[in-house]
Amino acid sequence: MSEAPLSFTAQETAYIARLNRNRQKAGDLRAANAGSTVMVSGWVFRYRDQGGLVFVDLRDRSGILQLVFDKSELKDRFDEAQALRGEFVIGVEGTLRKRAPEAVNAKLATGEVELLVKEFIILNRSRPLPFPIDEYSDVGEETRLRFRYLDLRRDEMRDAMILRSRLNQSIRRHLEGDGFIEVETPVLNKSTPEGARDFLVPSRLSPNKFYALPQSPQLFKQILMVAGFEKYFQIVKCFRDEDLRADRQPEFTQLDMEMSFVDEGVVTDTLEKMWRSVIKEVFEVQLPAEFPRMSHYDAVENYGTDRPDLRFDMKLVDIADIAQRSEFQVFKTAVEKGGRVKALCVPGGAELSRKDIDELTEWVKQDFKAGGLAWMKHEADGLKSVVSKFFNEDLLKELAVRTGSKPGDIIFFAGDKPKVVHDTLGNLRLRMAKRFNLIPENAWAIVWVEGFPLFERDADSGELASVHHPFTAPLDEHLDILFDEERFKKEGDKILSRAYDLVLNGSEIGGGSIRIHNAEMQLAVLRRLGINEEEAREKFGFLLDALSYGAPPHGGIAFGIDRVLTLFLHRESIRDVIAFPKTQKGFCLMSQSPSSVDVKQLQELRIRTIPLN
Amino acid sequence: MSEAPLSFTAQETAYIARLNRNRQKAGDLRAANAGSTVMVSGWVFRYRDQGGLVFVDLRDRSGILQLVFDKSELKDRFDEAQALRGEFVIGVEGTLRKRAPEAVNAKLATGEVELLVKEFIILNRSRPLPFPIDEYSDVGEETRLRFRYLDLRRDEMRDAMILRSRLNQSIRRHLEGDGFIEVETPVLNKSTPEGARDFLVPSRLSPNKFYALPQSPQLFKQILMVAGFEKYFQIVKCFRDEDLRADRQPEFTQLDMEMSFVDEGVVTDTLEKMWRSVIKEVFEVQLPAEFPRMSHYDAVENYGTDRPDLRFDMKLVDIADIAQRSEFQVFKTAVEKGGRVKALCVPGGAELSRKDIDELTEWVKQDFKAGGLAWMKHEADGLKSVVSKFFNEDLLKELAVRTGSKPGDIIFFAGDKPKVVHDTLGNLRLRMAKRFNLIPENAWAIVWVEGFPLFERDADSGELASVHHPFTAPLDEHLDILFDEERFKKEGDKILSRAYDLVLNGSEIGGGSIRIHNAEMQLAVLRRLGINEEEAREKFGFLLDALSYGAPPHGGIAFGIDRVLTLFLHRESIRDVIAFPKTQKGFCLMSQSPSSVDVKQLQELRIRTIPLN
């Protein structure tokens, strides 16, 4: 246990009050301030005892300042200075002076000065830390999360939190200036089985009923448009009870927006203006004057994914016609079965060893259900590999030309169902780009992806589901398919939606759409999703009603704030930009949450737990 | 069902896109704009067909503009104009012109102009409304909440939401400028049985365990101070599963703040500066240059409550000494038993009828457990009532002088346990002030109440509980009571805390304190609350640890944003400043939430409901 003083004398309290009132930011002091009396408070960051002198690097939120405790100055209080230890909290008064030229620390913003201590008070002590604040590279994430209050003292974490705050304020300032109103929508919501799994909250006042935490304020923001708010935004927590994948959190922060009397062009213009201004202000990055657009079709064809990383080229190339003229049965069969055959040329990839390639093969089999991974190295005398024998000289030359390969490159091939081909080569593209350093540093490639299908067929059940959500408007020119039951059965997945995603460096940072603003059309889309009118009214009755009372055309978007920060701060994980994140098991290691609760609490809620056997 | 168009032709879509891009704010148009071509979009607010002319008041978020559809201008499209109905959504293009002098509408900001329609398009139709938007005085709140999207179209609601947004932005702008960092704390929290009842969230990944929704981010903000953030704020949703009293909501919005290296003076200075600036900016109200301070003791003594309404005087007056010299046995007994006898003079109150007084007597008996309500009217010849006979002439004169009563006034008396006396007369004071219009309109009386007891004794169990919460620091000069078990037993309720509440017009709008920043002192306070070290470590282990690793002195506050808005907007209820409030039963009438959920959802969470018998 610490030996911190439990209380202060009246005199000490008065002195602390004086320090509190006159405290300056330690990190802001400069040579120009030399000679003045300065009061600072903060933490003992580094400590060095040199006989009659004690040097302390004092840390506060603004930075670091060197303090000098001089025995000849402090007399009988010098013992106390010698008793200081790391992370003790102190208040200090002294004279700021220039350091001797040889003592200047160029790495420190305050490196030309130091504070000669005249008076000080220990405000709190600290136990020895479980890990050092300043060098912690070998500290595991579990320990960092358990002692988050220490982890957050590190520069990287503090900077991330400060920039997070600035980003939020900058967004709000911009949107307020652009006529947007921030409206708070409820956290205690209605459960709708669509979409991901809900977190549920048992209601005590309505026993056996439940609230759900919002996956997004989708319906409420549409309601706000019906209510005539025209421009809404909110930076808001959303929740998904999913099995947490690598970089997901059960609660995450969304910039949620909706606008009335808009079409895709007005929405994307508004958002481009916002992001250009905000990103410039907060991260000093200049986004392009106009964000490029790409169709969902082109994204998948060329990059194998609907969130293409455009910082580098390396497109997927269709070689089905070449494969068909070859003797390579695997690919020929794939084409015959309606599949695709594509190639990916990796510049410099010929240096991959057999072992490397075997590993990649295992990976694409495991993760993307590929049957295997064919490849050819471009050697001095042309394309070579175990499969090159199935292609005659002309075809090999044609392959080299089509893929743009040069000596030293490797070409990978996939021939399979379209999804397998695109997943395999799309992911291989990213992995190879990292492996061969093909991604320029500090490049920012932003792109709108649009023209998504409205529905997609479930691979297992064959049923159609919404690609985005059931409130997304279809393209007007595809409505005839929607309203014709027979045509819909055959061509339902050809209807394109009015949705748009914003993709940055291969990550989806936002997604939205123009919404359905007409009750009949909304009912029609729900019907096509297998939801009859009765069920629709039970679940979304208030939306259907609202759409019948003068709903304006409207559309919006939601951006992932955690993701935007992670990208612009070059962090590994969204956990590094969240003050108190949870583990992949949804656990808070610091507060030990979730936890068991009193059976009395459950009784009041009229629920009981089903024990695990 | 509406007959809204399901789709638009390509030509119509292009026209709508042009309207979207060139749309002006209807409410901003003025005589200076006359002559120009103008495009507006919005709702048909009022409609008047005058033969060859149709007049429409078009409403958008910015205001109202009169449109003129002229048959001679529109030719064959005039039929469509005649088919417009209330709340249809239209886009319009026309020529803005000055109205004839006799047609000017001085009540309307745009009253000098009107738009002669050249071209228009119906964007959506509306069913006839369940209640009119513009005159709804007899619409019950249930209907308003059920059709909230219509209710929110009303000026009052739209203005409340716009001002709510402005208040939030103004607070954030001010605090950012003052060096505060906004940090988001988790919504999925640990349940702590202290305080009000938690909303629980079953965890699926940790079966039989639960998260709780935060009642406030108290521990997290203290952790942020230990982490060195120094100045934190957040506008954040908090949750309490209480039996909802008149004007409470299960989820409410708090401005949550915490600061390091501060004492009470620094905190209150910071907050006064903020509120002065924000309230001036948002509500154009000038708060005093220094907020007055009042001790908890004085507040209760003089006003019978810890949240005194200081817009008017009317203090409670102690008359125990006079009562003791009287023959009025009820009061004499009260004093002998250690109770209090106090009086309240209501200027002009003599006009209360016997029936009025009987009603008041019933009320104070019911609501405040008073034994009865004694009173005297100050008539031309002195104080009169059924109890005046127990007081001799001199005592009656003394009473008049002490209470400052004049002819025409009434004096109420209460003699009982202190709490009963203060509750009775404190509430009577408020009720009488309203009854006799003693509260000046547009007065803003703000006051810090401080010097609260740290603990209060439970009336039933006799046990001590925290007045604020167990993390509130005691006054240094009362620590000797805290640490002396024997003294504590007798005098525990004499320890004062370092808490402060901010009270505006008799409503508590914020409360906070300087916190305990020392682990040993925190353990001592928890021990005095009957929580031993083991239990303390289980519940608050991470806080106790954090306090041992260099916690700075810190303190903070939380303000109720809903309450602040309700007061400054002169609204009846916080429901009038919340976009989607719940009823007193915690029900959302619009979305019908909470609701039953699939048994499959409960199975996944490993809970089952206990049916009501």
pTM of the predicted model over 0.90: yes
For residue A2, pLDDT over 80 is answered with no
Burial class (CB in 10 A: 0-12, 13-18, 19+), B9: exposed
Chain B neighbours among A 554-583 (CB < 8 Å)? 578-580, 582
Residues A284-325 have pLDDT tens digits of 999 999 999 999 999 999 999 999 999 999 999 999 999 999
Contact of A209 with B594, CB cutoff 8 Å:
yes
B437/B345 Cα distance (integer angstroms): 15
pLDDT tier, B1 (very low <50, low <70, confident <90, very high otherwise):
very low
Residues B584-600 have pLDDT tens digits of 999 999 999 999 999 99
pLDDT tier, B327 (very low <50, low <70, confident <90, very high otherwise):
very high
For residue B434, pLDDT over 80 is answered with yes
Q: Is A206 on the interface with B (CB under 8 A)?
A: yes
A458–chain B nearest CA distance, Å: 21
Contact of B232 with B175, CB cutoff 8 Å:
no
B54/B114 Cα distance (integer angstroms): 12
Burial class (CB in 10 A: 0-12, 13-18, 19+), A100: exposed
What 8-state DSSP symbol labels residue B291? -
pLDDT, chain A, mean: 94
Average confidence (pLDDT) over A127-154: 90
Q: Which amino acid is at B255?
A: L
CB contact under 8 A, B13 and A611: no
B601/B594 Cα distance (integer angstroms): 15
Longest dimension (CA), chain B: 96
Choosing among A174, A211, A239, A537, which should be mutated to test the B contact, i.e. which has the most B CBs within 10 A?
A211
- Determine if residue B560 is labeled as part of a ligand binding site: yes
Q: Which secondary-structure segment (H or E) carries A522? A: helix A519-528
CB contact under 8 A, A266 and B593: no
Q: Helix or strand or coil: residue A503?
A: strand
Domain with CATH 2.40.50.140 in chain A: 10-124
Q: Is B612 on the interface with A (CB under 8 A)?
A: yes
pLDDT for B464 equals 83
For residue A499, pLDDT over 80 is answered with yes
CA dihedral (B228, B232, B237, B241) in degrees, to 10, reads 60
Average confidence (pLDDT) over B353-367: 97
The CATH number given to A312-435 is 3.30.1360.30
- Residue from A209, A307, A294, A303 nearest A506 by CA: A307
CB contact under 8 A, B226 and A549: no
Residues A341-350 have pLDDT tens digits of 999 999 999 9
pLDDT for B461 equals 78
Contact of B123 with B80, CB cutoff 8 Å:
no
Burial class (CB in 10 A: 0-12, 13-18, 19+), B443: exposed
Average confidence (pLDDT) over A208-229: 97
Average confidence (pLDDT) over B261-271: 97
- Residue from A453, A470, A449, A456 nearest A516 by CA: A470
A25/A32 Cα distance (integer angstroms): 15
- Determine if residue B606 is labeled as part of a ligand binding site: no
Sign of the Cα pseudo-torsion (B17, B22, B24, B29, in order): negative
Contact of B200 with A597, CB cutoff 8 Å:
yes
Q: Is B143 on the interface with A (CB under 8 A)?
A: no
Residues A271-283 have pLDDT tens digits of 999 999 999 999 9
pLDDT for A613 equals 67
Contact of A319 with A343, CB cutoff 8 Å:
yes
For residue A204, pLDDT over 60 is answered with yes
Contacts of A574 in chain B (CB under 8 A): none
For residue A1, pLDDT over 50 is answered with no
For residue A13, pLDDT over 50 is answered with yes
Which two tokens mark B575? 């429901």
Q: Which amino acid is at B501?
A: D
CA dihedral (A573, A577, A579, A582) in degrees, to 10, reads -20
Contacts of B143 in chain A (CB under 8 A): none
Which two tokens mark A414? 């996939």
Contacts of A595 in chain B (CB under 8 A): 190-191, 209-210
CB nearest A165 (choices: B181, B582, B609): B181
Q: Is B437 on the interface with A (CB under 8 A)?
A: no
Of 3.40.190.10, 3.40.50.300, 3.30.930.10, 3.10.20.600, the CATH number of B141-292+561-613 is: 3.30.930.10
Residues A423-435 have pLDDT tens digits of 999 999 999 999 9
How many Cβ atoms are within 10 Å of A537's Cβ, its own excluded? Answer: 16
For chain B, give the percent of residues with pLDDT over 70: 98
Residues B517-533 have pLDDT tens digits of 999 999 999 999 999 99
B233/B561 Cα distance (integer angstroms): 13
Find the distance separating the first CA and the last CA of chain A, reported in whole Å. 41
Instruction: Please list the residues that pair with A70 across neighbouring strands.
Output: A53
Residues 6 or more apart whose Cβ sits within 8 Å of residue A557:
A257, A267, A271, A500, A502, A510, A511, A512, A513
For residue B460, pLDDT over 80 is answered with no
Q: Is A103 on the interface with B (CB under 8 A)?
A: no
CB nearest A263 (choices: B16, B126, B604): B16
Domain with CATH 3.30.1360.30 in chain A: 312-435
Q: Which CATH class is domain B10-124?
A: mainly beta
Contacts of A594 in chain B (CB under 8 A): 188, 190, 201, 203, 206, 209-211
- Residue from B374, B346, B362 nearest B430 by CA: B346
B180–chain A nearest CA distance, Å: 9
CB nearest A200 (choices: B188, B601, B610): B601
For residue B317, pLDDT over 60 is answered with yes
Helical packing angle, B264-283 and A10-22, nearest 10°: 40
Q: Is B590 on the interface with A (CB under 8 A)?
A: yes
CA dihedral (B46, B49, B53, B55) in degrees, to 10, reads -10
Interface confidence (ipTM) of the complex = 0.95
pLDDT for A186 equals 98
Q: Is B442 on the interface with A (CB under 8 A)?
A: no
Average confidence (pLDDT) over A129-156: 89
pLDDT for B193 equals 66
A96/A397 Cα distance (integer angstroms): 75
CB contact under 8 A, A227 and B153: yes
- Determine if residue B194 is labeled as part of a ligand binding site: yes
B399/B344 Cα distance (integer angstroms): 11
For residue A385, pLDDT over 70 is answered with yes
Residues 6 or more apart whose Cβ sits within 8 Å of residue B489:
none
In our burial notation (b when 16+ CB lie closer than 10 A, e otherwise), range A57-78 reads bbbbbbbbbbbbbbbebbeeeb
Residues B121-166 have pLDDT tens digits of 999 999 999 998 887 667 889 999 999 999 999 999 999 999 999 9
CB contact under 8 A, A542 and B590: yes
B326–chain A nearest CA distance, Å: 47
Domain with CATH 3.30.930.10 in chain B: 141-292+561-613
pLDDT, chain B, mean: 94
For chain B, give the percent of residues with pLDDT over 90: 86
CB contact under 8 A, B13 and A476: yes
Q: Which secondary-structure segment (H or E) carries A158? A: helix A155-177
Count CA within 13 A, CB hemisphere, residue B139: 18
For chain A, give the percent of residues with pLDDT over 70: 98
Domain with CATH 3.30.930.10 in chain A: 141-286+500-517+552-613
Q: Helix or strand or coil: residue A117?
A: strand
What 8-state DSSP symbol labels residue A154? S
Average confidence (pLDDT) over A201-223: 96
Residue listed under structure tokens 């599963």: B241
B54/B90 Cα distance (integer angstroms): 14
Q: Radius of gyration over alpha carbons of chain B, in Å?
A: 31
Chain B neighbours among A 393-422 (CB < 8 Å)? none
pLDDT tier, A4 (very low <50, low <70, confident <90, very high otherwise):
low
The CATH number given to A141-286+500-517+552-613 is 3.30.930.10
pLDDT tier, A459 (very low <50, low <70, confident <90, very high otherwise):
confident
Find the distance separating the first CA and the last CA of chain B, reported in whole Å. 41
For chain A, give the percent of residues with pLDDT over 90: 87
Contact of B306 with B299, CB cutoff 8 Å:
yes
The per-type count for chain A, helices as H runs and strands as E runs, is 20, 23
pLDDT for A518 equals 94
Contacts of A184 in chain B (CB under 8 A): 164, 237, 253, 578-579
Sign of the Cα pseudo-torsion (B104, B107, B113, B116, in order): negative
Whether cis (ω within 30° of 0) applies to the bond prior to A552 is: no
Q: Is A152 on the interface with B (CB under 8 A)?
A: yes
Average confidence (pLDDT) over B195-215: 94
Whether cis (ω within 30° of 0) applies to the bond prior to B292 is: no
Q: Is B3 on the interface with A (CB under 8 A)?
A: no
